[in-house]
Amino acid sequence: MKAIQDAVRLYLERATGVRAVADRTRVAGEYPLLAVAVREDGTVLVDGGRQAEHTYRVTVTACSDRNRDGNTALLSALTPCLLRGVPMETAGGSRVLHPLDVRTEGEELTFSLELCVPVPPDDSSGEAATEKMETLNFSV
C-alpha cells in the first residue's frame, strides 16, 4: 500500500505543482497542500489462483489555504490528471495504474485502483522459511 500511496502522491505533485504528502504527515503553514491516504478494499484470486487482484481505495484531501476556501476547486482540478493514469515504478519495471470511480465528496476526492500481482509459490516443506527466520534472528 505504501508504494501505491507514494506513486499517487508523487504523480499528483508533479502533475499539479501542488505539494502532496502522505496522510497524517504534519506540515505546518504550507498551502496549497494535498494529503493522500490509501486503504485496501479487498483481494480476489484470479487466473486459477495464480494471481491476486488487490483493490485499493485512495482518498485525496485538499487544503487550499488556512481557511480551507476553494478546496472543491482544487480537488476538481485533479480529475483530468488522474484520468491520464498514475505511473508506478516496481521492482519488475514500470506500470500505469488507472483510477476507477473518481468522485469528489465534500472535502475529499476518492477513487479506486486495482493491482494484479502473481501469488508466490507455496513452499510446503517449510524448511526455507525456518532457515530464513533463523538467519534473521540468530546470526551474530
Task: Say whether 82 sits in a helix, a strand or coil.
Answer: helix
Distance, CA of 35 to CA of 61 (rounded, Å): 5
Radius of gyration, CA atoms only, the chain: 19
Local confidence band at 9 (pLDDT 50, 70, 90 cut-offs): very high
Residue with grid cell 487550499, as numbered in its chain: 64
Give CA angle at 14 (8, 15), nearest 5°: 85
Between 64 and 23, residue with greater pLDDT: 23
Q: What is the pLDDT of residue 72?
A: 77
Structure letter (DSSP) for residue 49: G
d(CA 51, CA 132): 25
> For the whole model, what pTM was predicted?
0.77
More confident residue, 138 or 37: 37
Average pLDDT on 1-13 reads 91
